[in-house]
Structure 1
Amino acid sequence: MSQRSFTSRAARPVLILGVSAAILSLGLSACSKQKSGSPNPSQGTPAPASSAAAPPASATAEGTPAPASPTSATAEPITRPRAGDCYQFPATDNSDDLTIVSCNQPHDAETFHAFEFRGDQFPTDDELNQASDEICGLMFEYYVGKPVADSTLDYEWVGPDQELWAQGDHIVECYAFAKDDSKLNRSIWNSNM
């Protein structure tokens, strides 16, 4: 099983250690993000994933897509969060699991989007970073209701390393958390936080 390395978009040492341990143990990769640019068309193009597009399919009264409810109100370990999933990071570096919880319970983060980066060749770090940051940034604003620069939230993303890419895993997942590391107590969907 391939493991991925983690580099944070923001300097968040304590949170990064917990997220890193969970992501590495789950076999997911996290990558740093850089602003500006778009992927090199010859390497691949980002496209919505068929199994994990955000926001999820249910709709509000206004016809705007709303996140799906977590599958259970009780905590359960997860391996790949979906858009609308709220979860706890591991309490210690020795723990392997992210734990999904109801978004109405205190939680560390919420996945707000996932997409497939298409192409036959593994993208360069710059291509993956630029495309992921651009797409996650746009989807953050759509999902939360305001741009990250004006928000009390921040975001990061996780994506495949070269080995997982070769195995067909091209999914990049975007997740948000409080900039001040406080717990979230509700979904960030359309929250204008």
Structure 2
Amino acid sequence: MFKNVKDQFEKELQEIRDGGMWKEEGVIEGKQGPEIKIGGKTLLNFCANNYLGLAASDELAEAAKEGVDKYGFGEASVRFIVGTSTIHKDLEKEIAKFFGQEDSITYTSCFDANTGLFETILKEGDAVFSDELNHASIIDGIRLCKAERFRFKNSDMEDLENQLKAAGERRRKLIATDGVFSMDGITAKLKEICDLA
């Protein structure tokens, strides 16, 4: 029986290879930076989340070592139990000050932030309008909330306006968009979205 299943998987994997959809892991030799070495070749790195090349910064590596010496290797708890330290609060105060706000909160990832955001601020009877090219974390976060969901065509202000009207009166309406759509590099029309809001 296992051989039958294994043969099926092998056939499917071969179809993926034949279709040019097979993904090989690129193993980086050395530090992650704007240029990386894979398979002995030096390549420009356009595919990492290391946008500013900070993962290879000697200055940040030293700061991380000092942080481990001062604060330990990890919090060993989630933030709302006993996982918040002074370094978190200091960073959040600096971020709030930079943006001219009274406070801020940091998350470990955009998925954490977005899956918690929409469920917290939107309730049944609300409406949320999501750009069709939004990041998966925004889409998943919206799925978790009880608001009615509307999806508008990427950066199509006419479609968004029509959907805002079609939703009628709501306790709260929220438009959700990426600033820069990560898979396409398209920038959102933030001014026009704010004008419609």
TM-score range, shorter chain: under 0.3
Q: TM-score, normalised on structure 2?
A: 0.25
Of structures 1 and 2, the larger Rg is shown by 2
* Higher share in helix: 2
* Higher share in strand: 1
Q: TM-score, normalised on structure 1?
A: 0.25
